Amino acid sequence: MAIKFIIGRAGSGKTEKCLNEFRQKLLESPSGDPLILLVPEQATFQAEHALVTTPGLRGLLRGQVLSFRRLAWRVMQETGNTIGNPIDDTGKKMLLMWILQQKQEELRLFHASAEKMGFIDNLNSLMSELGRYCLTPDMLKTQLENMVSDTADEVVLEHKLHDLHLVYREFETQLATKYLDAEAYLSHLANQLQFSSLAKGAELWIDGFYGFTPQELEVVLQAMLHFKNVTITLCLNRPYESDEEPNELDLFYPTAMTMIRIQKKIEQLGLSPAIYELLTDHPRFTDRPMLAHLEQMYEQRLSGRRVAYDQPGDEITIYSAANRRAEVEGAAREIIKMVRLDGLRYRDIAVRVRNIEEYGDLIATTFKDYDIPFFLDQKRTVLHHPLVEFIRSALEVILNNWRFDSVFRCIKTDLLLPLVDGKLPRKNSRRIARNEMDELENLVLAYGIQGTRWNDTKNWSFTRYRSIDDAVPDEADPVFSKRMDHCRRTVARPLKALQKRMKDAVCVRDMIEALYLLLEEAQVAERLQRWSEVALLNGRPEKSKEHAQIFDNIIDMFDQMVDILGDENATPELFRKLVETGLESIRQGLVPPALDQVLIGSIDRTRSAQVAVAMVLGVNDGVLPQAMSESGIITEAEREALTNRGLQLADGARRKLMDEQFLIYTVLCSPSKRLWLSYPLADEEGMTLLSSEVIKHTKMLFPYAKSSQLHSEPESTMSESEQASYISTPSKTISYLLVQLKQWMRGESLSDIWFDVYNWYLKHPEWNKKLAILTGALAYTNEEKPLPAFTSRLLYGDQLVSSVSRMELFVACPFSHFALNGLKLKERKVFRLEAPDIGELYHAALSNLFKELQEKKITLGSLNREELLSKTSEIVERLTPRLQNEILTSSHRHRHIARKLTNVLQSSALALHEHDKRGVFHPVGLELAFGPNEQLPALQIDLQDGRIMEVIGRIDRIDVAQLENDSLLRIIDYKSSAKSLELDEVFHGLSLQTLTYLDVAISNSEKWLGMKTSPAGVLYFHVHNPMISNSNPLTEDSVVKEKRKSFKMSGLVLADHEVVRMMDSEVQTGHSELIPVGLKKDGGFYSNSSIASAPQWDKLSQHVRETIGKIGMEIVNGKVDISPCRTSKKTACDYCPIKPVCKFDSQFEGNNHNVLKGMSNDEVWQALYSKRTEETD
């Protein structure tokens, strides 16, 4: 038995010496006693590759590269003592979730945390830690029994120990009898190694470890007892004896303590003292004095013995970057440069980061853009995969009553639809196109379909009321209905089968079988195989392997669930939680798909074999060294308390923080030719990031090291050689070229090198077309040219017909008008009660109320309160089923809303009742339409080109009243929200509706009513149910008065005392409670009265007609400008549904708001009069 340590500092050749001894043994005798190289799990591939590429070595018949786990498997396979089925972290986490649910009533703290994000992960890590450090449930119980809790912190720790003991005991009971986890592997390995022939006469090399857990250390000691020779490499500056106590601030403290522990165990076992070989040379840094100096001086960086390297050199370079993207792109450009100009291979370069989660996706995306082959050494979650989403959403469908989002999440995975083609036929099925699923989605959204309707045995058919006033709905196209019903049945059939099986299931095994049958019926395995093949053909080997592995991952999870909990009873909801836990735990680790590729990995996990260049990114404060946080279940203080009580756990945050320096040392000393250090100055949100102390210390050691900043784009101030570094691959360089050309177009200087690049693209046919498209985009201004006359006529016809609201929309934004009324773009209909639906109900209910009273020849004011409330309720009840596909009768919530809307209309009806009693105006037109074939003709406007424009619409209510010598008309417009008539909006053309309606009514009154009429006013009535708030108690009369005030109409009224009193007979002086007018005692009007004289009404009417004519001409002339208006209160973009279409952005050249100046009423009247004067002149 010989035990040997090979020790030396970083770069001294420890691994190479191990490999050489191993190679020499194989070359001398290809067959014989086993030779085993034991390395960390993540380093096995690299070690095997280093051996098999040895010149003259024909094979590894007696040589094996193993990790602790693989060694355990080999020994247990040989000895036959494989107790239990293997269980991984996925199975363990599902078991822990089950235990927490079952023990919920007994838990003191954990019951509230079981379903919190990350808790199961932390609990599983703690269970593994307890196992690795050989702690048993009984040890926890002993501590719990002996614990005296005097402080609040001690009480919390006592509760944690109670819950830990409860969970750990059940956890270990399950594992001990049935399963074999990672910790159990090591225990069995230590127990069975003595019986294995593998150890008889075998030689063992242990390389790449900085330390060992107690379980791993026990395996190492058993190996010393039973292997012929054991060689251990450690990164150390000198050998340590068993009685030494190194300073915990020493750089090599972690490996020193490892050697001391092994030395003590050797003495305790009575083995021969270990020999050691100290390697003092540094072959890694031959001809690299800067790297050699860094290795020697790093541990002296804070001491007075620090010596700076006073020579310039490029072996160590330091870069800052504006952000992480600029940093990663700079690294990518440097890799391209090193491979092209320095003769390096991609495999000679390693990119290392501290937090792979922050950089992994960004590096992968960037390296793909630069066509850099790479391997990302990161275990990937599978939650993004369609199969995982399919399983999760399918379970949610049956648990959440077939909700829309769950059903269509399931459909959009593409795993639910029939797989119909020549290879994989399915009986009685036809191909369903994706657009049919889109149509089905729109249909389900519009009709609010969910729950039992998905499984309705009757064929789906659809009806819709064209208007709320229609008594009979229209039937949908039967062909369309049949097609949608077929799509519905196709997607519902397998989910309905799953629902039935889950309902009949009595245990977890039955539920797993139900899920598996769903996957089988959906032909998931076949589809994933096809996806994998397609990904491989498209040059995406990693995606191909992901698709190839995922089904096995899921089936393995199912198997473990059956093994662990198969016979247990579970509710569907608990089963869903278990499945969610399992899916969240699955991680895919991929083998490098090629040899010549850049290795990307984390500093603490990834083992990079001999690399020429190490690029360390993200060297920021708090990252390297990493700030340790207490994210686990046991806090730092609690760890210390437990350690003092004799329970040894893993090192706490304080020790890990000190060990960070050793980790930094190993990565800084890993390259043989060059070290790249970089750090971003800001994160993705623009928050400042500081450089790490590593940067500071490196600069102090190497004051002449190259240091510069990485830019996202080439700048004109850069030298030509610096700009040339941005020329990498055609696909990436073209983006930089466009930036340079854009700056050149703005008048900035442009280096000749970019003209050469431009000419290169022109000369290559595969790129010149793309270049033409992209350079064309440089002049893009997001401006729309006017439509040609021919196109305008196709859209709007020879005779322009438009509503007032459309013209107001045109003034607000011509492009919005073009998109919505020219192209007929529409938002898809959603089964949701929105403001327009409520407004439609209000209009229809009030219109029906007045129509029924007119038919009975009674007035609103003649009804008493009870009659009015009853009549209003009856009308609303009749109308609600016709609104939005019966939405107000679809659920308890909507029926409650219907009752509230009824209250609103009853309150509004009472207010209108008061108006009717106090005024002499009465309705003569309700929901009166004007236009071709309507009650009133369209308003015709002569356009400048000789064409006639017809204005159409529908007037809510027209009232009439008789003067001695005249008849008066007023317009009342019902609004579901408060609105007033702003004269400046009328002037600009944003508010034309009520004045146009009044013009139409007056222009046609002689034919329609048999009398000439004059304008009395235009008013807005706010339909609502006011809430009266007052700090003092109110009498019933006060409440009625306050409510009446809240129903005061806004708008514009004829400036005539008699007309005012015809609208409110009770106003003699003072402000009216019903209309926006106040009368003074001297006969005048208060200044805040909203009034206009008869001549002013004429001017308004004339201005409205002229504005409509102007708008009409601009429409027929094809104006479609993206120029939304902006007033002091709002912009046209605020609630515009087509913002994603127009892409209006004030940063685009040509994208400017049409600013409409705010004007007082006096300024408006002055402008109108001056305008008429100018025209007369």
| Residue 1147, number of CB atoms within 10 A of its CB | 6
Q: What is the pLDDT of residues 68-112, one digit of tens each?
A: 888 888 888 788 766 667 778 888 888 888 888 888 888 888 877
580 HSE (CA, 13 A, CB side)? 19
Lowest mean pLDDT among 315-329, 463-477, 622-636, 735-749: 463-477
Q: Confirm or deny that 813 is annotated as ligand binding.
A: yes
pLDDT band at 321; cut points 50, 70, 90: very high
Q: Counting every residue, how long is the chain?
A: 1177
pTM of the predicted structure, to 2 decimals: 0.79
| Residue 756, number of CB atoms within 10 A of its CB | 11
More confident position, 463 or 275: 275
What is the rounded radius of gyration, in angstroms, for the C-alpha atoms of the chain? 41
Contacts of 12 (CB under 8 A, 6+ apart): 279, 280, 281, 282, 283, 284
Ordered alpha helix ranges (H), 80-213 = 89-102, 119-132, 137-145, 152-178, 182-192
Instruction: Output the pLDDT for position 465.
Output: 58
Tokens of 323: 């952000």
User: Rounded to 10 degrees, what is the CA torsion of 657, 661, 667, 670?
Assistant: -150
CA distances from 16 to 37, 295, 1015 (A): 12, 18, 102
pLDDT at 840 over 50: yes
pLDDT band at 324; cut points 50, 70, 90: very high
- Could you give the percent of the chain with pLDDT greater than 90? 37
Instruction: Output the pLDDT for position 397.
Output: 93
CA distances from 484 to 83, 480, 555 (A): 55, 6, 34
Q: What is the pLDDT of residues 1000-1032, one digit of tens each?
A: 999 999 999 999 999 999 999 999 988 877 667
Domains 2-82+184-281 and 289-379+595-712 share a fold: yes
Ordered alpha helix ranges (H), 538-652 = 541-565, 572-585, 636-644
Instruction: Output the pLDDT for position 476.
Output: 66
CA distances from 59 to 27, 48, 54, 365, 1051 (A): 9, 11, 9, 38, 96
Instruction: Output the pLDDT for position 568.
Output: 85
In whole numbers, what is the pLDDT of the chain averaged over residues? 87
CATH fold for domain 2-82+184-281: Rossmann fold (3.40.50)
Tokens of 165: 């003991």
Q: Confirm or deny that 669 is annotated as ligand binding.
A: no
pLDDT at 471 over 70: no
Closest C-alpha to 333, from 661, 736, 16, 927: 736
State the Cα–Cα distance between residues 280 and 292, nearest whole angstrom: 12
Please, what is the Cα angle at 408 between 404 and 410, to 5 degrees? 125
Q: Confirm or deny that 18 is annotated as ligand binding.
A: no
Taking 3-state DSSP, the helix, strand and coil percentages for the chain, each rounded to the nearest 5, stand at: 50, 15, 35
H/E stretch holding 1169 reads: helix 1161-1176
Q: Do 1031 and 1023 contact (CB within 8 A), yes or no?
A: no
Instruction: Output the pLDDT for position 1074.
Output: 93
Q: Is 69 helix (H, G, I), strand (E, B) or coil?
A: helix
Q: What is the DSSP string of 880-899?
A: GGGSTTTGGGSSHHHHHHHH
Contacts of 980 (CB under 8 A, 6+ apart): 1020, 1050, 1051, 1076, 1090
Most trustworthy range by pLDDT among 781-785, 1033-1037, 1065-1069: 1065-1069
Q: Do 710 and 678 contact (CB within 8 A), yes or no?
A: yes
Average pLDDT over residues 215-229: 89
Q: Is 1168 helix (H, G, I), strand (E, B) or coil?
A: helix
More confident position, 553 or 55: 553
Beta strands at 948-962 and 967-975: parallel, antiparallel or unpaired: antiparallel
State the Cα–Cα distance between residues 30 and 24, nearest whole angstrom: 10
Task: Say which residue the tokens 């997001």 belong to.
Answer: 782
Average pLDDT over residues 975-1002: 93
Closest C-alpha to 298, from 232, 235, 234: 235
Q: What is the pLDDT of residues 915-969, one digit of tens each?
A: 999 999 999 999 999 999 899 999 999 888 888 899 999 999 999 999 888 899 9
Indicate the domain borders of the chain. 2-82+184-281, 88-180, 289-379+595-712, 386-588, 722-778
Closest C-alpha to 395, from 548, 531, 498: 498
Q: Do 977 and 835 contact (CB within 8 A), yes or no?
A: yes
State the Cα–Cα distance between residues 30 and 38, nearest whole angstrom: 19
Domain 289-379+595-712 has CATH 3.30.2350.10: no
Q: What is the pLDDT of residues 395-424, one digit of tens each?
A: 999 999 999 999 999 999 989 877 554 344
Instruction: Output the pLDDT for position 1095.
Output: 93
State the Cα–Cα distance between residues 1046 and 1039, nearest whole angstrom: 11
CA distances from 79 to 70, 177, 186, 224, 627 (A): 14, 19, 15, 19, 45
Tokens of 1050: 């806004």
H/E stretch holding 960 reads: strand 948-962
State the Cα–Cα distance between residues 675 and 664, nearest whole angstrom: 13
Give me the amino acid identity at 17.
Answer: K
Instruction: Output the pLDDT for position 1017.
Output: 95
Instruction: Output the pLDDT for position 75.
Output: 85
Lowest mean pLDDT among 224-238, 587-601, 782-796: 587-601
Instruction: Output the pLDDT for position 520.
Output: 92
Average pLDDT over residues 162-188: 81
CA distances from 205 to 217, 269, 557, 672, 883 (A): 14, 20, 35, 24, 80
Average pLDDT over residues 456-475: 68
Closest C-alpha to 802, from 996, 1018, 1005: 996
Q: Do 424 and 523 contact (CB within 8 A), yes or no?
A: yes
Tokens of 996: 């146009």
Ordered alpha helix ranges (H), 566-682 = 572-585, 636-644, 653-668
Instruction: Output the pLDDT for position 427.
Output: 41
Q: Do 206 and 176 contact (CB within 8 A), yes or no?
A: no
Most trustworthy range by pLDDT among 33-47, 633-647, 783-797, 1002-1016: 1002-1016
Own/partner contacts of 1127-1131, CB < 8 Å, gap of 24 or more, are 1127/985, 1127/990, 1127/1156, 1127/1158, 1128/1158
pLDDT band at 425; cut points 50, 70, 90: very low
State the Cα–Cα distance between residues 506 and 150, nearest whole angstrom: 48
Beta strands at 948-962 and 922-930: parallel, antiparallel or unpaired: antiparallel
Instruction: Output the pLDDT for position 469.
Output: 60
Cα 531 versus chain centre, distance? 25
Q: What is the DSSP string of 383-433?
A: TTSHHHHHHHHHHHHHHTTS-HHHHHHHHTTTSSS---SSSS--TT-----
State the Cα–Cα distance between residues 901 and 893, nearest whole angstrom: 12
Q: Confirm or deny that 1142 is annotated as ligand binding.
A: yes
Instruction: Output the pLDDT for position 424.
Output: 40
Q: What is the pLDDT of residues 1063-1082, one digit of tens each?
A: 999 988 889 999 999 999 88
State the Cα–Cα distance between residues 926 and 1050, nearest whole angstrom: 19
Average pLDDT over residues 1161-1168: 92
Tokens of 352: 């290392």
pLDDT at 148 over 90: no
Tokens of 616: 């360390």
Instruction: Output the pLDDT for position 459.
Output: 84
Beta bridge partners of 691: 620
Instruction: Output the pLDDT for position 158.
Output: 86
Average pLDDT over residues 596-603: 88
Closest C-alpha to 708, from 980, 411, 321, 314: 321
Q: What is the pLDDT of residues 2-18, one digit of tens each?
A: 899 999 999 888 999 99
Most trustworthy range by pLDDT among 364-378, 505-519, 763-777, 1128-1142: 505-519
Average pLDDT over residues 218-232: 91
What is the spatial order of strands in the sheet that 275-279 belongs to? Answer: 63-66, 35-38, 203-206, 229-235, 2-8, 275-279
Task: Say which residue the tokens 């005012």 belong to.
Answer: 1060
Q: What is the pLDDT of residues 664-694, one digit of tens each?
A: 998 999 999 999 999 999 988 888 999 999 9
Q: Do 1049 and 1004 contact (CB within 8 A), yes or no?
A: no
Contacts of 178 (CB under 8 A, 6+ apart): 84, 85, 563, 564
Average pLDDT over residues 337-344: 90
Q: What is the pLDDT of residues 257-291, one digit of tens each?
A: 999 999 998 988 888 888 999 998 888 888 899 99
Q: Do 5 and 263 contact (CB within 8 A), yes or no?
A: no
